[in-house]
Amino acid sequence: MSFIPHTDIEVKQMLKTIGVSSIDDLFVDIKEDLKPKSFNLPEGKSEFEVIENLKKLSSKNATHLINFLGAGFYDHYIPAAVDALSSRSEFYTAYTPYQPECSQGWLQAIYEYQTAISELTGLDVSNASLYDGGTALYEACMMAIRITGRNKIVMDSGVNMTYRTILYTYTSNLNIEFVETSVVHGQSSREEIYKYLDDKTAAVILQNPNFFGAVDDHSDVVKKAHSFGALVIESVYPIALGILKTPGEIGCDIATGEGQSLGLPLSFGGPYLGFMATKKEYVRKMPGRIVGQTQDKDGRIGYVLTLQAREQHIRREKATSNICSNEALCALRAVIYLSLLGKDGLRDVAQLNYQKAEFTKNVFDDIPGVEVKRSSPTFNEFTVLLPRNADQVVSKMAAKGYALGFPLGRFYPGMDNYILVAVTEKRTKEEIVKFKESLEAVLCD
């Protein structure tokens, strides 16, 4: 029977037994500013009252804004079938399908997802998904270090700052040397990247399109990196692959990215989906797990977890990251989305994104004091120089019903007047024209 103290004498006896003189001593390691100020909680509410209060709180979120904001997460149209199919009760409790005999549906869904990501990236194999685009990039970095046995990473500063922050946070206690190279007129600086390549370089990390929206063909960088025995990791925007060269075509060794644009709503930050694909020769160094197709003794097709890389699978020191509670439901939405679009549909969506962004650029040219940066080709996102502080303009545009874009000064010193604008297939001609008129009015105010 457990002992639950309920008198002062019993409390004192308990404290004496464990070697402390007071209840406060139990919490001495917690800093004062982190301790609760009071346990004087309000009276409980009924279910109805709680729901009404939550509705009031949620109404403070500006979900009505017409969205021209991107920076890694995009407002794409999601076909109704994605919600209908992924909401079926069979998929509610997505978890590691350890028992293939009772998980064939999930295993096949993941297998189809892996196939779609491999075709999308032009690489041989994909894993069963990761948490998000940033952690996927970290996993690719560690994978390159395991493959090469080296510890130096050369990274383009055009890689999403959120991803770079995740990478530095995850590796803060590891012996890894990071070198960041600059972006010149929107493009990766070949001169700087080549300067830092040596026999200690495990990988070069690139992004296409990069954080500024610029499109770049990194084929020459890949060739140069390979001449030093280094791998190349490219973070990509999956919708853009409908019309851009794939990482496989460029010659990259590992491709990663954020799968949010593949049928996942913005949802104030997730859950999202990280994808990863690589060459077949590196498959045993991939993190997480892979679903494979096989046959049973009667020749019937079946699906199983294969190349499982967890320490529980007797991998011991060879184990890679234990990505177990993966984003399977998000991966399911992604493969449903890609299946609905098909190859031609994905190309059409990509073309719409590109064409509407180009139309928006041309419309912006008519706004006095606004300069669209055109030093590099772009996909659906581009950099704009405003005549005043971008943060201030963003606030005023929100009051008019528009999410203008991402102020680059938040990540890049000296770019306080620069804004990153994204245009997806959802934005209509009428919205873009009115968007331009509202911006012009704000700047003239």
Residue 364 has a pLDDT of: 97
Closest CA to 283 of 303, 306, 311: 306
The domains of the chain, with CATH numbers, are 66-75+342-444 (3.90.1150.10), 81-338 (3.40.640.10)
**pLDDT of 396-428, one tens digit each?**
999 999 999 999 999 999 999 999 999 999 999
**pLDDT of 96-150, one tens digit each?**
677 788 889 889 999 999 999 999 999 999 999 999 999 999 999 999 999 999 9
Q: 10 Å Cβ neighbour count for 150?
A: 20
Burial annotation 411-434 (CB, 10 A radius, 16+ → b, else e): beeebbbbbbbbbbbbbeeebbee
Residue 93 has a pLDDT of: 65
Number of H-type helices and E-type strands within the chain: 12, 17
Write down the pTM of the prediction: 0.88
- In one letter, which amino acid is 20? V
Residue 420 has a pLDDT of: 98
d(CA 210, CA 159): 6
- Range in 137-151, 321-335, 383-397, 420-434 the model is least confident about: 321-335
d(CA 424, CA 147): 38
Residue 1 has a pLDDT of: 41
